[in-house]
Structure 1
Amino acid sequence: MEIINPATEEIIAKVQEDDKASLEKKFHLLKTAQPKWNGVPLTERIKVLQKFTELLKSNIEPLAAILTSEMGKPLQQARNEINGASGRVLWLCEHAEKYLSEETMTATKDLTEKIVYEPLGVICNISAWNFPYNVGVNVFVPALLAGNAVMYKPSEFSTLTGLEIEKYLKQAGVPENVFHIAVGAGEVGNTLLNFSFDGYFFTGSYKTGQYIYEKVAPKMVPCQLELGGKDPVYVADDIENIKSAAAGIADGAFYNNGQSCCAVERVYVHEKIYDAYVKEFVEEVKSWKNGLPTEDGVYISVVSRKPQVDFIDQQVKEAVAKGAKILSGGKKTEGKGYGFEP
């Protein structure tokens, strides 16, 4: 499988995709290793994940460079994501004992009732490309802390990052065959749906999430889906600082090159402040530096894959046909790379 840099359109790596046989082998190894990992005291599992955080922080520059090279987010935003993910891991580690300790509900001479938290077993985590660290640690870190083994399927657009995650988890002390990565595109993920995992966790599109849910439902195992959103903002007429509001909403819409499931996609503005708001919003967007994601100060770079450029272009044309006005950008960038002016 070829890994393409969306900013240069160059092939930066070739990786071996998993097939059914290699996935079956990894699944069997995970099943075999999970009970022993569950037997490791929680305090020791916590130390392992804390060490993982230390490794992420100490290697942030090469990790950010890899993330930027394969999915195109500006380098500083890649650093931000890794730092944010590290904080999430530490929070999960700090609270693990509280949430995983058994609770005594009834204790009399005749009856003792407890709630005991047990791992599911081996879980399948099909993750996203837009925030692979943030989205990934939300699933595989609590899973590992709870004593589960994990099959981690990164997006084909963040495969190199997935391989780095696997490498540093092992360096941190996660035992062999407790965490495996499934390498490949959608067909690999589809193959995993036929296995007998003890839980499925997916982040991605509504359409794919619906398909996964239908496939997994007969298994009667936990299935958690985090899907796309259509997030609105309403700007009331009593806000004190229109400029600040416009800047915050613009950031909410375009951060990560606009590729977020929780990005602002609709803005409703009170008619009394509409003109002032639009002026501030456009000025904010025009102030951003557009360019290669590796350049200092760049806020808008490229989208992750070529078809998305044509899709955005078509959306803009449809909006204009329906009466929208372009006040800034709104067209493909020239030269190499999957760029589109905001």
Structure 2
Amino acid sequence: MTATIQLISPVDGRVYAERPYTTPAQIEQALQAAASAQAQWQRRPLSERAAFCNAVVDAMLGMKDQIVPELAWQMGRPVRFGAGELRGFEERARHMIAIAAQALAVVEPSPVAGFRRFIKRDPLGTVLVVAPWNYPYLTAVNSIIPALMAGNSVILKHASQTLLVGERFAEAMHRAHLPEGLFHNLLLSHTDTGAMIASGRVQQVNFTGSVDAGKAMESAATGRFLGLGLELGGKDPAYVRADANLEHAVENLVDGSFFNSGQSCCAVERIYVDEKIYPAFVEGFAALTRQYVLGNPLDEATTLGPMVTPGAAMFVRGQIAEALAQGARALIDPQAFAADVPGGAYLAPQVLVDVSHQMSVMRDESFGPVVGIMPVKGDDQAIALMNDSEFGLSASIWTRDLDAAERLGEQVDTGTLFMNRCDYLDPALAWTGVKNSGRGVTLSSLGYEHLTRAKSFHLRHEI
């Protein structure tokens, strides 16, 4: 009997979709086809690649009415927010298409008499994209469209929780008439994914997921000299200075903490507030948090859906319980949220005060709707606490002082430093992390450097 993947919906706990795993013969066929198609694809002018990729984006947007409820059923995000992911998908894809000509342009050093010298950016070959469930279109498009624009073929291994997203990508490629063999959506087991990486038949792996899974990727790639891009999550901090616009900071940090039920690599998970405004900030933050509506994500009134699995919710409940046992104080009453049933995937948002860095909720990635808030005496203490983490994906500083934000930002160990915003990816900027948040770059012109290899031409034409 063929093994299958079951997609269990967090909405009601039932099987929403079931598909067979890709067989070894199908994997082999995909690898061969990808290599063959890529050899032809890299010879196409960039303008033709751009036309195909723009058609892919158009095709995906044309499926919006089906995609939005599918997302709710697959991973629990309320339908009122579903279209936002597609807007972000389009923004990133169109930007990476638009900058490709400049990013991939030939580099010519200063002229030398008698010589023609230049550097080309050649495609790597086949790029394996291993995408997560939490932002299944956004994270995948970060690599897929630029990989194709750079002249590579692509194999997508999407998370089992969002396996229908992989099918949507495949359908968009089909509707755009992308050349046969250039894109493959495969349903791979962890073992098959590792074997594909270890085979040496993919030249770049772009992975978004957990630290442990990232280590497994590195282990599989050992000795293969392939590129490995890893985005491995975070414990992203925010610092609210005394001069911050309090109302703006509260509104945006509540959203940055609880959007997508906190299931974002760059969600705000810990907040440090100048002690002068700490009481007012906490009061406003808790009041706004209480306005969330926890419920069925298919209901337009719902602003907070379930977590992806009951197990994920149980982990966060455990962090909260441990913090309370160590002296933390909860500002939100879960009983005010009728959908929050112990043991289930529906989890009320929680705001914790009287927390410390001895608590897991302030150290370990929560990936859920909980945030701890601490008062600080000033900049030095805030920066020390922000850097007291094994992660470094993004961080934010809330202030009216641009110079201070830049000065303090230089001291924060992070891949992206925000001022007066959070939980956002600007496709014109490099998306990267430090420490256990990973390595490599997607988006921006720098993202193309990780999808190509330099090839130098040193031509002596006068002898």
Q: What TM-score, normalized to structure 2?
A: 0.71
Shift of 1:101: 2.2
Aligned counterpart, 1:70? 74
Instruction: Give the one of 208, 211, 216 matched to 1:211.
Output: 216
Whether 1:201 aligns to 2:206 is yes
Greater helix proportion: 1
RMSD value, Cα: 1.7
For residues 333 and 152 of structure 2, what CA distance do their matches in structure 1 show? Answer: 48
Whether 1:119 aligns to 2:126 is no
For residues 252 and 104 of structure 2, what CA distance do their matches in structure 1 show? Answer: 37
Instruction: Give the one of 23, 29, 36 matched to 1:32.
Output: 36
The equivalences for 1:249-260 within 5 A come to: 249-260=253-264
Shift of 1:166: 1.2
Whether 1:261 aligns to 2:268 is no
Tell me which amino acid in the other structure corresponds to 1:61: D
Whether 1:317 aligns to 2:321 is yes
Tell me which amino acid in the other structure corresponds to 1:231: D
Shift of 1:194: 2.3
Whether 1:223 aligns to 2:228 is yes
Whether 1:89 aligns to 2:96 is no
The equivalences for 1:5-44 within 5 A come to: 5-44=9-48
Secondary structure of residue in 2 paired with 1:123 = strand
Aligned counterpart, 1:128? 132
Shift of 1:281: 0.5
For residues 63 and 316 of structure 1, what CA distance do their matches in structure 2 show? Answer: 34
Per-residue CA distance 1:90-122 (angstroms, 9 max, x = gap)? 111111111112222244441111111110001
For residues 268 and 250 of structure 1, what CA distance do their matches in structure 2 show? Answer: 13
Whether 1:58 aligns to 2:38 is no
Tell me which amino acid in the other structure corresponds to 2:211: Y
Shift of 1:336: 9.9
Tell me which amino acid in the other structure corresponds to 1:91: H
Whether 1:45 aligns to 2:49 is yes
For residues 167 and 275 of structure 1, what CA distance do their matches in structure 2 show? Answer: 52
For residues 84 and 114 of structure 1, what CA distance do their matches in structure 2 show? Answer: 36
Shift of 1:334: 3.0
Once structures 1 and 2 are overlaid, which stretch shifts more, 17-26 or 276-285?
17-26
Aligned counterpart, 2:405? none
Between the aligned residues of both structures, percent identity stands at: 28
Once structures 1 and 2 are overlaid, which stretch shifts more, 105-114 or 122-131?
105-114
Tell me which amino acid in the other structure corresponds to 2:21: E
Structure 1 runs of 4+ aligned residues shifted over 6 Å read: none
Whether 1:274 aligns to 2:278 is yes
Secondary structure of residue in 2 paired with 1:6 = coil
Aligned counterpart, 1:138? 142
Secondary structure of residue in 2 paired with 1:247 = helix
Residues 198 and 224 of structure 2 are in contact (CA less than 8 Å); yes or no, is this contact kept in structure 1?
no
For residues 217 and 247 of structure 1, what CA distance do their matches in structure 2 show? Answer: 45
Once structures 1 and 2 are overlaid, which stretch shifts more, 50-59 or 121-130?
50-59
Shift of 1:81: 0.6
Gaps of 5+ in 1: none
For residues 310 and 191 of structure 2, what CA distance do their matches in structure 1 show? Answer: 20
Shift of 1:335: 9.1
Aligned counterpart, 1:334? 341
Per-residue CA distance 1:248-282 (angstroms, 9 max, x = gap)? 11111111110011111111112222211111011
For residues 343 and 311 of structure 2, what CA distance do their matches in structure 1 show? Answer: 14
Aligned counterpart, 1:290? 294
Per-residue CA distance 1:281-302 (angstroms, 9 max, x = gap)? 1111111222111111322111
Per-residue CA distance 1:58-79 (angstroms, 9 max, x = gap)? 2212111212211111113221
Residues 106 and 112 of structure 1 are in contact (CA less than 8 Å); yes or no, is this contact kept in structure 2?
no
Residues 198 and 222 of structure 2 are in contact (CA less than 8 Å); yes or no, is this contact kept in structure 1?
no
Tell me which amino acid in the other structure corresponds to 1:203: T
